[in-house]
Structure 1
C-alpha cells in the first residue's frame, strides 16, 4: 500500500506543440508542457540535472517531450547577501539544518507551476523505502515535486506545513537527495508509455510480479565452459515459461525472504512461510 496521497481526478489540460528544429532543444528549457508528466526538483545542486536522466531512453523521452524536468535552485531563495539556506540546529548539535522559510519560497514556486495531481516528496533517509509499487503510483500521476534534503535535514515545520511525504532509497545515508531524486525519476519515467519502446520489458522485470527476475542469457551458446540452459534453446514456450517462473521463485526465496513471504501470503500459502 502506498503512503502517497490518493490520486485526484485527472483533467485535460492541452499541450504545447513540439516542432522540428535545426537547433537542439534544451532538455530543461524553462517552459511548461501541459498534460506532460513533469518532475520539479528543489535542489541546492541544479547543475546535477538532468545527469543520467538526459542519457539513454530517459534522455530520448525527455527530448521527445514524453516527460519534462525542471529544477528550482534553492540558493536563489536564500537569506541575506550570501543567500543562506541553513542554520544551526535548535537545541544544539552537529551540522546545519535547511530553513523552513527558505524552503517554503522554493516549494511555493514549484506548487504554483504544478498542474493536476502532483505529490510532494522529500528525499530523506528516514522516509518510507521507495519501491516498484510507488514508482507505478507516481507514473500514474501528473508529475511530482521533489525536495532534495541536505546537511542534517530539513526544518520539521516545512515538512508538516506542506504535507511532504518522506521517501528513502534504503537504509543508508547520502550527502544529499539529488542522487535519490534521479533514481526515483528514472524508475518512474521508464514505466510510462513509449519510453521503453517494448512495454513487455517493464512487465517481466524484477518486482513487477512480486518476485526477482529470472536469469537472462544471450549469445554465445557456450562461454568459458558455461552453456545456456538447454530449455531456453528448446523453442518450447510453455517449458521456458515454467523454467523462468521456477528460477524467479528460487532466487527470491534465496536472496529476498521478505519478498518471498509476501509472495506466499498473496498466494494464500502462509504455512510455507513458517518453513523459512
Structure 2
C-alpha cells in the first residue's frame, strides 16, 4: 500500500512477538516518546502499556495480525497494550503517549485510528514534557496524564475507517499485493488472470478471509493511497485521482468525502498544502 508497508506473509505468531517495555521497570503510569525523521519500519513488537501515537507530519502505518492501519498527519493511532504490531514511518514526525492500562480501562482490543481535536492535540504535544523514560514521576504529571487518559477514552468511540484487512491465506495475500501495486488500472479479471484463479473462487475466498468484497477492498485501498499522495508537495486533486484509478476528480472527491468526512482539497489544506 505504500513504500514501507510490509506483507501479510510476514505476520508472526502471537506468542513470538517480543515485549518492548519503555518504562524500564520504574512503575511510571504514563509518559511520552517523540519520533522524527527517516523512513523506517519497526520490528514486530508489543507494549505493556497502551499507546496513543499522534502524527504531526507525514504518514504512519500500523500493521497487526488482522489489519493495516493508515495514519495520515493530524490523526492518532490507538494501540492497546499487548497487541503485536509493527509501524512504518515515511517523512513522519510523531509523539506517542503511553498509558498504564489501569489509566484507560476497557480500552483493550484492537488498534483504531482516531480524529484529534485541537485540545487533545495540544495536550499530546505538552505531554512531551514528561518522557516515558524518566526516572520518577510527580503529582503534576500524574494528574495531567489522568486528564489526558479521560479525553482519549472518550475519543475511542469516534474511530476512522482508515484500515485494510490482512490475511494468512497465500492467495488472498497475493491478491491484496497485486491490487495495491496496480491501483491505477487494476480489474478483477486482470487479478484473476495474473494469479490463475477464477473470479468465482476469488470472490468467495476473499469475502471469507477479509469480511469484505474485493471491490470494497479496492476502493478502500485507493482512498488510503490517495491520502499519502495528497500530502505530498506539488500534488493536485486530479493527479491523485488518476494515480489511484478514478476517472475524474469529481468521482474521486465524492468517494473521498464519503470515506473520510472531508473533501480532498480540505484534507490537503488542513495539512498545510
TM-score (norm 1): 0.27
In terms of fraction of residues, the more strand-rich structure is 2
| Structure with max Cα Rg | 1
TM-score (norm 2): 0.27
